[in-house]
Each structure stands twice: as structure tokens, then as C-alpha cells.
Amino acid sequence: MFHFSNIVRTKGDPKIVEGGPSLKQPADQLARALGWFSIGLGVFELFAPRRVTETLGMEGHETLVRAFGVREILTGIMSLSVEKNAGLWARVGGDGLDAAALLSGLTADNPKKGNIALALLTVGGIAALDYRTAQDTRPQRPPRDARRKLYPRRSGFPKGIESVRTAARQIAALARPNEMKQGDARGVP
């Protein structure tokens, strides 16, 4: 990616020779991948709902598939944002809706029950991944019963303010003879 960064840099800016190690945690990278996957799936569901319903033997539910596509896109965008944890939890809820919709198509007269069973397995696996990633990316907060740390007696000077003043006087006293010597050398009174 740093090659693309060099293209947009202005002339005179230092060039990026190589990228450093990523500071992102694996859970953050997985959340990002799930966000992009969600957006891709949502776009497919939004623009090709008939292919989805034909594959599952659930013709006539194209509007529902489009609505799920919009939901996937929105949760994907949220998973890529700063509030990725909320987006991942929304994805977990959406997986439940997907499973419920798939179960409604698992009837005895549906000739494509095998596809629905495969889709249910896939949704279950992705739901487990969403749940695990949402757990790993939850915001870190101190426990409710944690004692707040206060430092009312600290001044920033571990030996006290008077020792700092003494040290400053000593440094000033040492500097004066040197200034006088330099002033004599330059002929300044």
C-alpha cells in the first residue's frame, strides 16, 4: 500500500521506502475482512436477488433479499468504521435473521432443500466468526468496581520543589564564572 502513498505525496516530501509492521490486532483485521465481505454480499443481494432466490428455491422473496442486502451493506460499513464492535454485533443479529429466513424455506415441497441446508451451515459458521470477532474487539473499559487513581500529593518533583530551586541556584552559580570569562575574552565589561 505504501507504493500508492508515494503517488499522492507532494514533491519534496520524503518517499516511503517500505512499510512497517502493522499495529492492527488480528481481531481488527478480521473485523475489517468481515466488513468487506458483508459489503460484497450485500451488493450481490441488492442487485441479483433473483439468483439468490432461484438457488435456494425461494422464488417470490426478492424484496426480502434486497432488504437483507441493504442491511449487509450498512453493517459492513459500520464494521469498517471506528465503531466496528457495534457493526459486528449487528452482523450477529443479521445472521440470526438470515437463519430464520432460510428455515422458512426449508419445507418438504422445496426441491432445493440441500442448498438451503448448505446455506444454513455457512450462515452458522459466519455467525460464529462474527460472534468471536465481536467478543475480541469489544472496547476495553475498567471494571465498575475499579478504584480510581488519584495523586493529590504529587507535584511532579520527586525530591520536592525546594531541591529543584537549590539545583537551579547551583547551576546558575556555576554558569556565572564562565560567562564572566567569556565576557573578558570578548572585551565586554
**Cβ–Cβ < 8 Å for 75, 90:** yes
Average pLDDT over residues 8-33: 81
pLDDT band at 188 (very low <50, low <70, confident <90, very high): low
In the numeric block, the cell 507504493 is attached to 3
Which among 36, 43, 32 is positioned nearest to 65, based on CA atoms? 43
**Cβ–Cβ < 8 Å for 71, 47:** no
Does position 16 have pLDDT exceeding 80, yes or no? no
pLDDT band at 1 (very low <50, low <70, confident <90, very high): low
Does position 189 have pLDDT exceeding 60, yes or no? no
**What's the chain's average pLDDT?**
87
The percentage of the chain sitting over the pLDDT mark of 90, rounded to a whole number, equals: 57
25 vs 73: CA distance, rounded Å: 24
Average pLDDT over residues 53-68: 94
Which among 37, 47, 43, 122 is positioned nearest to 88, based on CA atoms? 37
pTM, rounded to two decimals: 0.64
| pLDDT (0 to 100) of residue 73 | 96
